[in-house]
Amino acid sequence: MKIYDRAAEEYREEKEYGEKSLKFLYGTVFGRVLLKVFFCRGIYSKINGAFMRSPLSVRRIKPFIQKYGIYIRGCERTDFRSFDDFFTRKYPFTADCTPDELIAPCCGRLSVYPVSDELTLKIKGSLYTLPELVGERFDVSEFRGGICLVYRLAVEDCHRYVFCDDGEVVRSEEIKGVLHTVRPISEKYRVFSHNHRVCTLLRTERFGDIIQTEVGALQIGRITNHDITRFSRMEEKGFFGYGGSTIIQLFKRDIISVDGDIQGLSGSGIEVSVKTGDRIGERVREQ
């Protein structure tokens, strides 16, 4: 899969972790039977999750780092006790931006979509309505005509995420669901809306109300959000357990402007690789 690395100013092919097993699970009748029996009931997720949190999984760390070229010298600690401990590694994030510049809340591959009257999102060729995303638990009428930012986190990314501005948490809702992968290989089976999600209404100082949704993944899909009411820009909001995951943000109309290069590439169907704290746009009017 081709993505654009904004920092390196180059295109590159992304490696798919566990691609063969995913093709089997989603691309064969027997594989989809296994998904229904084991994954939908959470059997595999519980077993795999327990293993990834155990000391036995440490041996998987080095081959994983070598395969994906992961740089860990900047981690706050490197004495990992399990693969999940490594996967949720923490870096000292910084943002070299002015307060009016919008930052990426995580490392990931960014796509941008206008929010239509129907609030239907086209993600990798599949369509997802806003009710499927937020579970009809939030009033999204005021976001009509706004902007939707989709950050797809690959397994090699740091899976901790931060707040993009100062503000307060108005409400947060957990939506339990069937855990499936959010990676491109599963797109034609329309499984995105069945994932475990956490939707939060954030009231920010510079960018108004934002609905942020964290989406879990196939193997574990664990989402951990800190118990925070008031927050500051770049303060950690939470982290994902092992597996590829996605963060989605909804902004109201005429609040932000996304940088032109990101909009252009996204309009051509190309995701843009960004890092936590990178500028991705700016505020266009006062709140």
Task: Summarize pLDDT for 236-284 with one digit per residue, the tens.
Answer: 999 998 876 889 999 999 999 999 999 999 989 899 999 999 999 999 9
Query: Lowest-pLDDT range, 80-84, 123-127, 223-227?
Result: 123-127
Characterize the bridge pairing of strands 230-231 and 167-175.
Answer: antiparallel
Instruction: With beta carbons less than 8 A apart as the criterion, state whether 109 and 70 touch.
Output: no
Query: In 10 A of CB 267, how many CB atoms?
Result: 11
Of 241, 223, 235, nearest in space to 85 by CA:
241
pTM equals: 0.85
Alpha carbon distance 268, 264 (integer Å) = 6
Instruction: With beta carbons less than 8 A apart as the criterion, state whether 236 and 160 touch.
Output: yes
Q: Which two tokens stand for residue 93?
A: 């994030």
Confidence label for 124 from pLDDT (cuts 50, 70 and 90) = very low
Confidence label for 99 from pLDDT (cuts 50, 70 and 90) = very high
Query: What is the per-residue pLDDT across 191-220, written as a single tens digit (0 to 9) for each?
Result: 444 577 899 999 999 999 999 999 886 555
